[in-house]
Amino acid sequence: MRIKWFSFIRIAGLLSVLTYHFFQNSYPGGFIGVDIFFTFSGFLITALMIDEFAKTRQFKLVKFYQRRFNRIVPPLLLAILVVLPFTYLVSPDYVTGIGKQIAAAMGFTTNYFEIATGGSYESKFIPHLFVHTWSLAVEVHFYILWGLIIAGLVQWMHKSNSNQKEMVVSFRSMIAFISLVFAAVSVILMGLRSFNLTDYSAVYFSSLTHCFPFFIGALTASFTGITMVPKRFQQTLNQARLMPTVISLVLAFVFLAMLGFVMHFDSQKTYLGGILIASLVTAFAIVKARTLHNLTPNMIEPKCATFIADISYSMYLYHWPLFVIFSQRMNTISAVIMTIVIGVPFSALSYYIIEPLLAGKQPRDIKKTTLLKPIKLGLAAGGLLLLIIAATVIKTAPGLTQLDQKLWISSLYQARDNMTTSKTVIQADVKQQQAAKDKHKQAVTIPKGVSIIGDSVTAGTREYLQQNVADSTVDAAGERTMQLAYDVMMRAQANHLLRENVVLSIGTNALPGSNEQLEKLINDLKPGHRLILVTPYDGRADATWNSFKLAQFERTLPKKYNFITIADWQKMAQKHPEVFAGTDGVHFAGRHEGDVIYAQTVNEGLKQGAKTPVKK
């Protein structure tokens, strides 16, 4: 039994996700489209389970898993095979470690793979092409767990002495109770784990913290249903009126659309209730759509809506990797058009032709059985060709991106320099000990030149900086916070290796309290030094971000301290958006033009700093 108007639930989820990925800056909260899908899936699967039990008093777990496999795996495999040939259009960086990505996708562990590798839609220098299959992993985890729970519940129900009618009522009640408990635990876990974070990806990706929309959908199904509905809901259906139901459903969709404008991936409010609200509103929309089905017995759902709903899963699989690829070759609008032009036909082919054939059924759109053999041969030949291309892409894929290579090489050079520094420190200690023995302690002089202390942005351009910033040393590392930079500076200062001009390029990983830590660094910097602060830049940041606040704070310091100068990388970077095209908005490693303007910014800061006195 197909419920009319449910297609619009799927369409709402698909449009929300697509708009988010295509126009993230304009629609920052569209990721709730995934939660619309999750809630609807939880409802649909549970409602079908209840229908099966109500009719047969059974639940066939193996058949359930088989249906889920047939619906999920073939489109996923086809999407991977279709996408990989397009990777030849972009830099090899985009297929770095692609074999691991595919293994995670096909093994339904992408969410934990991304947690382990630091993945995110919003913060990867080179986005993983199959990062979006994290949601598929969470969904499959739910199916496995929920199937086992329902199978166990059915077995337990059979041991009771209830009559058939009482069994169904008890079955619904137990599903409602279990769903409520699981949803509550997941919501609480998401809220608790969201505290003291700057990157919420791990909370967002985790099956434990992000499974509650499924159970909200399951809870909704226990009170409503598809074919078999409880008495109370049937009374609600009988009392419902057309216009109030339509208005309520439209308002629910409007509310979900508005959430997409106000929610943000990097806001704690999203994880303290934002996603929960989206799921609850979706559940409300599901109930209203189910009600509208009963109120419109003579109406037919628009065919275009049915078509979009049918291909929504496959289109979800295609849209992200295709858009990532095409957006590197053309402007956003053109990339969106190409994604749709390619994604829609392949999604339709998958749903209407390939999936039925693999399930042993005849596609309903192929009337002549004589066409089946040539179609199967054509699909087999095409599949073999795609498989060969996929194997080639996987085999030739690089192990590291250009950014990773730069950072790795930078770390090797820094290790070498640290060894040289250690040797210098030992030699200095020997000289000081000798001087002490001779009772002729010499006043320690501050070395001339530039000491640059930075994070991963600086590490990515380390070699160029040392060649183009006169008489400089660079100490840079990824994930470096202000506190870690303070430790580096204090260690160099204690060993008399901190040079006269100290360039501090820290802030990309700014945490709450960075302003206070910077003040401490300034106070503990010994006399005889100048401090040049390179403001942090993050193309995704707004006024609420710690890095943005730190840059504003740094600009106020030269008025307070005459030995401080600002090298405004934030403003300089904003003038050169081309340097960050296709990146995470922070790093530019591997792009010579980025090296050039970054070094220019540092040199300009040093030039201005030379006009100021040293710390007294």
Task: Please provide the DSSP assignment of 276-336 as one string.
Answer: HHHHHHHHHHHHHHHHHHHH-TT----HHHHHHHHHHHHHHHHHHHHHHHHTTTS-HHHHH
Q: Which two structure tokens, joined as six digits, stand for 382?
A: 């095409």
410 pLDDT band, cuts 50/70/90, is low
Burial of 122 (0-12, 13-18, 19+ CB in 10 A): middle
In the predicted structure, residue 412 carries a pLDDT above the cut 70: no
The SS3 call for residue 372 is helix
Q: What distances in angstroms separate CA 16 from CA 33, 122, 271, 309, 567, one per listed residue?
A: 5, 16, 18, 13, 40
Report the pLDDT averaged over residues 467-486: 88
Residue 340: its pLDDT value, please? 97
Amino acid, single-letter form, for residue 100:
K
Angle between helices 212-223 and 275-295 (to 10 degrees): 30
Q: How far apart are CA 377 and CA 415, in angstroms?
A: 58
In the predicted structure, residue 279 carries a pLDDT above the cut 90: yes
Q: How far apart are CA 322 and CA 299, in angstroms?
A: 37
411 pLDDT band, cuts 50/70/90, is low
* CATH class (in words) of the domain with range 402-609: alpha beta
406 pLDDT band, cuts 50/70/90, is low
Main-chain phi, psi angles of 472, to 5 degrees: -125, 155
199 pLDDT band, cuts 50/70/90, is confident
Q: How far apart are CA 477 and CA 406, in angstroms?
A: 12
Question: Which of 165, 154, 111 lies closest to 136, judged by CA?
Answer: 111
Instruction: Please check whether residue 193 is in contact with residue 210, taking contact to mean a CB–CB distance below 8 angstroms.
Output: no
Residue 558: its pLDDT value, please? 95
Residue 361: its pLDDT value, please? 84
Residue % of the chain over a pLDDT of 70: 90
Q: Which helix (H) or strand (E) holds 475?
A: strand 472-476
Sign of CA dihedral 205, 206, 207, 211: negative
Q: Could you tell me which residues come within 8 angstroms of residue 550 by beta carbon, excluding any fewer than 6 positions away? A: 482, 507, 510, 514, 515, 518, 535, 536
Residue 445 DSSP code? P
Q: Which two structure tokens, joined as six digits, stand for 497?
A: 């290796």
Bridge partners (DSSP) listed for residue 503: 452, 532
Q: How far apart are CA 165 and CA 155, in angstroms?
A: 16
- Reported as a single tens digit per residue, the pLDDT across 77-122 is 999 999 999 999 988 888 888 999 999 999 999 999 998 877 665 5
Q: Which two structure tokens, joined as six digits, stand for 351?
A: 């749903």
Q: How far apart are CA 317 and CA 126, in angstroms?
A: 18
The SS3 call for residue 534 is strand
- Reported as a single tens digit per residue, the pLDDT across 214-251 is 999 999 999 999 999 999 999 999 999 999 999 999 99
Residue written as tokens 């900086």?
465
Question: Which of 187, 249, 226 lies closest to 38, judged by CA?
Answer: 187
- Reported as a single tens digit per residue, the pLDDT across 58-87 is 999 999 999 999 999 999 999 999 999 999
The SS3 call for residue 270 is helix
In the predicted structure, residue 156 carries a pLDDT above the cut 70: yes
Pick left, alpha or beta for residue 346 (phi over 0 → left; psi -120 to 50 → alpha; otherwise beta): alpha
- Reported as a single tens digit per residue, the pLDDT across 312-343 is 999 999 999 999 999 888 889 999 999 999 99
Q: Which helix (H) or strand (E) holds 451?
A: strand 450-454
Buried b (16+ CB within 10 A) or exposed e, 422-446: eeebeeeeeeeeeeeeeeeeeeeeb
513 pLDDT band, cuts 50/70/90, is confident
In the predicted structure, residue 441 carries a pLDDT above the cut 50: no
Q: Which two structure tokens, joined as six digits, stand for 490?
A: 């204090």
Question: Could you tell me the residue ranges of all domains in the chain?
Answer: 6-396, 402-609
In the predicted structure, residue 421 carries a pLDDT above the cut 60: no
In the predicted structure, residue 369 carries a pLDDT above the cut 80: no
Residue % of the chain over a pLDDT of 90: 67
Bigger pLDDT: 273 or 424? 273
Q: How many residues does the chain have?
A: 616
The predicted model scores a pTM of 0.77
Q: What is the mean pLDDT of the chain?
A: 89
Report the pLDDT averaged over residues 520-531: 95
Q: How far apart are CA 342 and CA 319, in angstroms?
A: 9
Residue 123: its pLDDT value, please? 52
Amino acid, single-letter form, for residue 556:
T
